Every structure is written in structure tokens, then in C-alpha cells.
A and B are shown apart, each in its own frame.
Chain A
Amino acid sequence: MTTDVTSLGAATGTRGRTAPARGRRRRYQGREVAWGYALVAPAIVLFAVMGVYTLFWGLQLSFVRWNGLTPTWTWVGVQNYLDLLYASPVFAPPVRTAALNTVWVMVAAPLLTVAISFPLALALNRARRFVGLLRSVYFVPYITTGIAVYLAWQYVLEPNGAINTLLRALGLGTLSQPQGWLGNPDTALPTLIVIMVWSAVPVATLLYLTGLQTIDPALIEAAQIDGAGWWRVNLSVVWPLLRGITAVILLLNLRDALQGFQIFLIMTDGGPGEHTKVLGLETYRLAFQTQLAPTLGLASALGWMLFVAALIVAFVNLRVNRERA
């Protein structure tokens, strides 16, 4: 067995001492090829099992009615998708509620993240003292985000938590929430959005800082020589140059808003009532919280719809940014 690998070295950038010179053809022996396949086989098999197989199995699951227990499932075709979208009076209304909440999160969380992280990055970039300390402090929410932090936030937000106590101490008791910030249906979702933004700002700030340090200072100086003040420089020079980074930040946060549900599961489980239920959480509920009702297929179908929605959002985002660039 022989294989033509003329361009392999160049393509992969491996130009070691054994790499063939450009244009020269070396024919590997069958034994060597077999070793090559054997060595890449684990990665291929793992991807086939963990990636391709589960992907297609999951897709298949979205067309069946099953509770994860029975040896067989019932094929229902696209009915799961129709039930979630409009056909079922049982499953469609909760999905609509969750979709509305998800849209709020998708709009608010990315925009607030950008609105906070960009000025923060500008300020950090101008800092001359304690630069390392300040950057570390602002990065703390990212490295500590997780279940423990969400539980800590719960304590802070409860009726007798730190925020209400502080507001009362400042004479702003009318702003405090007697039922807790997560207990009031009107404040629960905005509060969770704020915590999501708190978690997302560090990475966004870091990305902006990275971008700011790649901008040629000559551009800034040129603008300043032309009479541009601080606002004009940042709005008309810096902001457009960082549009690519903004697109990445928006995309990452949109994805989190669309598919993430950890914070909602841990802090409110969709409550109070259904006021913080989002599509990711509804998918989880259909899969694991319906007391073994045959809704795994519905959960899979909702998951695939979220996947398609994420693709569309990413596509639109990229197109818009490409047109502006």
C-alpha cells in the first residue's frame, strides 16, 4: 500500500529534518501508512462515537416519542416540532413563554455587556498605576463564576439579603424588594440578566483590551492632531476598529443567552412561576423533569430548534459585520 503525501508536510506546516523538499514526491510504505492510520484512529473513533454518532442519535430522537426507559420508541415524524411550535395546547404555550423570556435575555445581556465592557476596557487601557491589580480585580467574576457564586448571589438577593439591607440602610427602603429580587416576578428576570452581564463583562473587557493594544497609536495621534477630542477619537476611530471584537462578544453572549440555562436552573428553576423560564431550561425540563413522561423527543426537537436559531443568529451577525467592514 502506498500513499502520495507530497503536500502533506507543507499543508500541516511540519518542516522538520525529515520533511521532503518542495516538489519531491516520497512514497510511504504500507507499514508506515498503517501506523499513521493507527495513530489517528483513536481520535477518529472518539469523534465518530462521541460526535457523529450522538449527533445523529440526537437528531433521530427528535422524531420519536420516548421516555428513555422503554426498549422501543414510537416514531412520530415532525410532530414533536409542530407540537412545540403551535400544535399542542400542552407543550406550545410554555415554549412561547420561554421564547419571550429568552428574547429579552438575548437583547439585554449582549448589549449591556458591550455597553459596560467597552468603556471599562478604555479606562483600564488608560490606567497608569495598579494596572495588573485592576485587571485582576475586574477578571475575578469570570474565574469565580459557577454554582457557588450563583448560590452566593441568591443569599445577596433574598428578602433579608445584602442588597435590601443596604438599600434600607441608605434610606432607599422603597427600592428594596420585600419578596426578594428573585421572588418578585417583575424583578427576577432583569436581576438574572444583570448577573449574566456581571459574569460576561470580564472576558469582553479582556477582548477589548487586547484589541485596544493592537491599534496603531499613530491613528489616535493623527485624529488628535486633527482636533478630535476623547469622545470623537473613541467613537469614530477606536470603536470602528474594534467592530470585529464587538461582533465576537455579541456572538458569544447571544449563544449563551440562547442556549445557556445553568444560572436559571440554579437560581430560580424558571420561577417564580414561569417568569424566568428560558428555552434552554425548558429543554432541560422536557428531558428530565416531566416525571418520566415520554418527552425526551420533544426536548431533543427543542434543542435542534435552538441550534438552528443559533446558526441563524451567527449568520446574520457575521453578515451585518462583514457589510459594515
Chain B
Amino acid sequence: MNLYLRRTARILLSAVTISALAVAATACSPGGGGSTGDSQSLTMWTFKQSHVAALQKAAESFKQKTGISVKVEAITPDDAFIARVQAAAQTRTMPDVLEVHTNGDDFTFGAAGLLEDLAGKTPWTDRYLPSVAGEGTVTDVYYKQSLEKGAKTAGIKLNQRFSVPLTIGTFGIVYANKERLTAAGVTQPPKTWEDFIGVLDAVRKARPNDGGVSIGFQSPTTGMEWLMQPMAYGKLGKAGFKGLFSNQRDQNWSSPNGRSVLEAYNQVTPYWMPGTQSLTIDDADIAFAQGKSSFDIGGTFTLAFLAQNGMNADNIVTFPVPAPRGGAVPDLSLAPFALTGLSVSATSGNKDGAIKWLDHLAQSDVATQFAKDALDVPPVNMGGDPGAALGPVLGAMIGSFGSGDSAYNPGDTTYRPPSYDAAVVARALMELTPLKKADVPTAGASLTKIIDGYWAGK
């Protein structure tokens, strides 16, 4: 190589290196990137894979109507979604629209200034069911919680609105294999907790190998929040239930009330599917779909996943977790709440378009079609016969929704101390069941100690 070529090569090498560094530095810079979206396109992130196809279908009609295209991207699981948003917040590469956990992520993102305040910008909310129309709005309770030390939502302001509902539903739905129930002589869903235990016993006796209950205990909150808490609410009523999570010794988990709830919950222990304590939520649902268990505990959202994994919807019986006999709420029902919502990024380059997309998804026909495609429950009023539009299983679940004090609302977490970590509490409960490493008094004392710690740190 002659001298000229060597010099040229060195200059080129240096130029390429410097350019690459400049590009890398720009990409890494907190000020880099910028808002997304132009007047004719939007990007949307969701953490639910089962919503992608349904949203894309809705996006087609939205483009026909407005000329704006929407690109939907699923980021799963939830942890990965959160991490992606954290990274995007730092690099200012947020999408235009996000699907969020209502009254949770939306408030946290909003508190960080990542979301547009939608208050006064969503005139279509009268299309939603009255019970969920206001969800995503900072009420007085949520505002007061945000003022506590260590609160995740510190910074939100009263009456701000950070999301509108996309799907509603509830936890505490028992899915049962209809054929196996019938074969075991069970023809009616259980009306009480004791009946429920009796049904579990009958099916287990008929099918010792695959007659158990699956639930994704690798996420420990499932057992506590999806099965035990609805039962506890039915047993103690609203005030008694809230008392379990207080720091009052005569009401909390060490009290007679607490022990009676733990004893009732412990009755399920013999009926867990072997190994369910190691399963993820998805694995537990798959085990039910594959016939390895005869019962699966979940929520309204579980149906879509079961269908995706080959479970025949005609072979499913669903019923809400029942209250114990003689409980404070004998006619226990489950209150629907907004599970997921839609938020607009504060840095969106097309906020008007994004808000139009939210409006479009709240149109009754679009929402119904979305619900059919995603096998999820929409927040709009579907008339007197939701089963006609959504099928008998989903329709039956919607039919079992209730309201008022006789309905357990899993979305209401206002009774908890501000820094409450549900996973930590639920892991302690797992020592009672399914792990059988603690008895009722020990488990009660353990829960009390943890929750007292949260109150002490308030």
C-alpha cells in the first residue's frame, strides 16, 4: 500500500470512527430521540399479546375513517413492558399511545410527566359503563395516597386523568372443566365456599391424577388476590375485609377474623394440582387447557388465553369464588373495574390523532368487535344480552358482575398502606398453602408483621 492510500485509509477510518461515536452518543443522550408520531401515523405499545390482532383490526377501520395509521407493538411480559417504558422515558422515545394498568401504571407514568392529562379532552366517556366511566382519573383517595412517603404516584394532582378504559373485568373467576364436573356428579356451580370445597373433593376423588386446581403461584399474588380475598370479603363484609389489612390487632390477620379466613382458605390445600406452586400464570392456564388440572383460578381475561391454547370454550364452566356459608355477604358478586386503559404520551407528536384513536376504540361497534376478537370485556354498554355478542362464557361472566357493598371490587386497593408490596405479603401466605410450612397462627403472625411494617413506614 502506498503512502497516499495509507493516509487516505487512516483518514477514512478516523472519520468513520468519529461518526459512529457521534451517532452512538446521540442515541444514548437523554435529550436524543424525541417525540414519536406524525399527523398520519401513530405508534401504540401494549403488554397484552392477545390484544394486538384485535387492535390492528380496529386500526384498519380507524385509517379508513381518518387516514391515520396505527402501528401496534406488544411488549411482554409486564416486567419487560415496564423496563421498556423506563428506557423510553429516559431517551424520549415514548410511543404515542400506551395500554396501561388502570389506576396503577397510568398514575405512575402520569406522575413522572410521561402522559398527557386527558381531563376535559374525552367528551365521549358517557359511552362507558357508569361504574368505570371515571376510571383513570385521580380521585381524592388516590391523591391522598400519592402524598404518603414512598408512594409510587407522588406528583399526581387531583382530577387529572391519565387514561380511559379499554377493557374491564375482574379477578376471582373459577374455570372448571365441564365434562369432568358432570362425570363427578356436579351439575350446578357451587353457591358457597363449603360447596366449592365439596366440588373440589368430588372431582379429585373421581380423577386423582388430574382433578386438582391450578393457579400460577410463581406470581404469589394469584392465590391471595384471586382466590382468598374474594372469599374473605364474602366472609367478613367490606369493613371486616379492610380490617385484615389494618394495623389494628383486633381486626388484622392475627385476630379471630383473620384466623377464620386463613382456616377457610387452608381447606383448598389438598386439592392443588401437584407442582402448581412452581407454575407461572400462563403455565397454570395451559395446564388447565391441556387437562392436567380440572380447575383454574383467574379472571375475565383468562378466557382469551385458554382459547389461544386450544381449550374448547364449550367445555368450560365459570363461576365467581363463593362466600362461606353464614358469611357477611352471602350473595357475593364481583364488581367489574377497568383492567386496562389507554393513555396518550406527553411527548406525542400527534396528540390530536392519538385522542381520536381513543375515541374510535370507545365507539360501541368498534369496542364490541374488539371484545369479540380479543375475547375480553369492553367498557361500553352492550345491552341486555352481552352473551349474544361475546359468546356464552364471556356473557355469563358479564352477567355475574355486581355492584355495591355486596360486590367484591379487586380494583379497590385504597385499604392498603401506601408502600404495600402485594408479592411480599402473598409469599408469606404461601407458607400456609400450598407449601404447608406454616400453620394458621404462624401465617397470621407473619402477615401481620409484614403489613405492620408497611404501616410503620408510612
Task: List B411-450 residues whose CB lies under 8 Å from chain A.
Answer: 419, 421, 423-424, 427-428, 430-431, 434-435, 437, 449-450
CA distance in complex: A29, B85 (Å): 51
A199 within 8 A of partner (CB): no
Q: In the complex the two chains form, is A90's CB within 8 Å of B419's CB?
A: yes
Scan B1-28; emit 1 where CB is below 8 A from any A CB, else 0: 0000000001000100100110001001
* Centre residue among A69, A179, A290 by max chain B CB count within 10 A: A69
Known A-B contacts A68-B86, A89-B457; A159 and B274 likewise in contact (beta carbons under 8 Å): yes
Q: Name which of B107-115, B171-179, B196-204, B256-264 contacts chain A.
A: B107-115
A293 within 8 A of partner (CB): yes
CA distance in complex: A41, B427 (Å): 51
Chain B nearest CB, measured from A43 CB (Å):
10
A-B contact pairs, 26 of them (CB 8 A): A65-B150, A68-B90, A69-B86, A70-B112, A70-B155, A88-B457, A89-B452, A158-B278, A159-B275, A160-B274, A180-B275, A182-B278, A185-B435, A271-B217, A271-B277, A271-B430, A272-B434, A273-B427, A273-B430, A274-B427, A288-B79, A288-B83, A291-B82, A291-B104, A291-B108, A292-B108
**Chain A interface mostly:** loop
Chain A nearest CB, measured from B100 CB (Å):
11
CA distance in complex: A70, B275 (Å): 40
A45 within 8 A of partner (CB): yes
A60 within 8 A of partner (CB): no
**Chain B interface mostly:** helix
Q: In the complex the two chains form, is A289's CB within 8 Å of B274's CB?
A: no
In the bound complex, residues from chain A placing their C-beta under 8 Å from that of B25 are: 49
Q: A185-B437, A272-B217 are in contact. List 19 more A-B contacts (CB 8 A).
A: A42-B17, A65-B150, A69-B111, A70-B113, A71-B112, A88-B457, A89-B456, A90-B419, A90-B454, A93-B450, A93-B453, A158-B275, A159-B274, A271-B430, A273-B220, A273-B431, A273-B437, A291-B108, A294-B152
CA distance in complex: A272, B432 (Å): 12
B→A interface (CB under 8 Å): 10, 14, 17, 20-21, 25, 28, 79, 82-83, 85-86, 89-90, 104-105, 108-109, 111-114, 150, 152, 154-155, 217-218, 220, 274-278, 419, 421, 423-424, 427-428, 430-431, 434-435, 437, 449-450, 452-454, 456-457
CA distance in complex: A45, B21 (Å): 8
List 10 tightest A-B contacts by C-beta distance, closest first. Answer: A89-B453, A69-B112, A68-B86, A180-B275, A272-B277, A159-B274, A159-B275, A70-B112, A292-B108, A183-B278
A219 within 8 A of partner (CB): no
Scan A180-204; emit 1 where CB is below 8 A from any B CB, else 0: 1011010000000000000000000
